[in-house]
Every structure is written in C-alpha cells, then in structure tokens.
Amino acid sequence: DAGVTQSPTHLIKTRGQQVTLRCSPKSGHDTVSWYQQALGQGPQFIFQYYEEEERQRGNFPDRFSGHQFPNYSSELNVNALLLGDSALYLCASSPIRLAGMGDTQYFGPGTRLTVL
Amino acid sequence: SQQGEEDPQALSIQEGENATMNCSYKTSINNLQWYRQNSGRGLVHLILIRSNEREKHSGRLRVTLDTSKKSSSLLITASRAADTASYFCATDAIGGSNYKLTFGKGTLLTVNP
C-alpha cells in the first residue's frame, strides 16, 4: 500500500518563475492538504482540496493556487516566486470523516524548493 | 500563525533516559496530534488524543492532555538514538476544519548513544 508520494524531491528556481509541485494521496484517501515549512519552523497550512475544490485556505497570497484531479491527486502552483518561498512543501492526505471526529493526516516526504 | 508552542526548543539526553516535551496552545481544540520529523523530511504521525481524553499510550509513547490549561505533554520512555528527530504538536480548532492542522515550532530531540 503506497503512502503519500510527492514529486519532485528537490527543485531550484529563480525569482519570478513559476513552479508546480505534485502529490498523490494514500490509497483510500480523498482529501489533500498542502503545507509550507520554512527552515526551523513548523508547517503552515496553505489549503485543502476535496472533491476537486478548495475547501479551506490558510493565510497565503493568491500566488499560491492548487488543483485536485478526479483520481484525488493534487498540484500546488506558485507564481512569481519570491526568495521567501524557499521552503519544504508538504502534502498530506486523509479520508473524509464526520465533522468533529478528526483523523490522522498522512504526510509525504516533501518537495524542497529553493528560490535563488 | 503558530497555534502551539513546544517546550523546550531543544533537548539532549542519553540513550535509555526518558524525554518529555510539552506543548501549549491557544484556542479550544477537537484533537491534538504529535508528529515526528527526521532531518527536514516528511512528518510521521505518532499519536492522536481527542479533547475528551486525558491520557493515551502507544508503545514507548505517553501523551497527556489538559484542556483546562491548554497543554499537552509527550513522554518517550527508554529513548534510543533512532528517536533523534524534531517533534511537533498539531491541533485542529473547534469550529474549524478537521484537516487544517496548526503546528508549533517543534522540539529538537537529540539522543546520544
């Protein structure tokens, strides 16, 4: 049973460029969340996708956008890259549960983005 | 913004000793989870404790939750060098999405052989 996978592992871009990161959720999971983790910090919630729609968004500018495909995989797009976008980008998947139940989120290995 | 704050920021112990990490948070929660991260890689889920639970065990891990103090602790008993990692607590807030986790800055645990 494959866990959450992300690609690529590492990426180097220059300021102003655009980047697309990819995530495949764990088998049986239909919700995907994206997090940004700066060096020395905890992960920060970017947004979450369910049924191909963005359900909730954290405090990130519109330069950060996403997409979820019918097979539940997801992409994170970042436009007009800034030096401050350098971080580890983590994807997490979870199955839908009743409200209030809560559940474990399974994280992928992350994509390390460096903006020069 | 960070919801939780782990304490201490760094902890260094000898193999075989116990390690205790604390987490405080600000708003009322549904659940609190602890994750481990090795050298900037992906997070590994350790344990989830619900707001109506006070204590939970999993192998060498013991987690407590005090909702009146908005705090939690993670105890790792008989630590091993392989436990060296960063440990994060994560909460999901009442009234919010179950899947929007808010993390603290983490505790860096070093277990010396």
Tokens of B113: 């052989």
| Main-chain dihedrals φ then ψ at residue B81, nearest 5 degrees | -55, -35
**pLDDT value of residue B1:** 46
| pLDDT reported for residue A99 | 43
* Interface check B43 vs A, CB under 8 A: yes
Please give the average per-residue pLDDT across A88-106, as a whole number.
Answer: 75
Residue B25: pLDDT band with limits 50, 70, 90: very high
Q: How confident is the model at residue A5 (pLDDT cuts 50, 70, 90)?
A: very high
Q: Provide mean pLDDT across the span A48-53.
A: 90
Tell me whether B52 touches chain A (CB under 8 Å). no
**Among B24-33, B57-66, B93-102, the least confident range:** B93-102
One-letter amino acid at B112 equals: N
CB B23 within 8 A of CB B11: no
Chain B touched by A30 (CB under 8 Å): no
pLDDT digits (tens, 9 = 90+) for B47-58: 999 999 999 999
Cα four-point dihedral sign B65, A94, B99, B19:
positive
Question: Residue A71: is it exposed, middle or buried by C-beta count within 10 angstroms (0-12/13-18/19+)?
Answer: exposed
Residue A112 predicted with pLDDT over 50: yes
pLDDT mean over A51-61: 91
| Average pLDDT of chain A to the nearest whole number | 91
From the list B41, B100, B102, the residue facing A56 with the nearest CB is: B100
Nearest to A88 among B1, B40, B92 (CB): B40
d(CA A17, CA A80): 5
Q: What is the reported pLDDT for B45?
A: 93
- Inform me whether the C-beta atom of residue A97 falls under 8 Å from chain B C-beta atoms: yes
- pLDDT for the residue A28: 85
* Distance (Å) from the alpha carbon of B30 to chain A's nearest alpha carbon: 7
pLDDT-derived band at B3, boundaries 50, 70, 90: low
**pLDDT band for position B7 (cuts 50, 70, 90):** confident
Q: Any alpha helices (H) in chain B, and if so which ranges?
A: none
Pick the range with the lowest mean pLDDT from A29-33, A83-87, B62-66.
A29-33
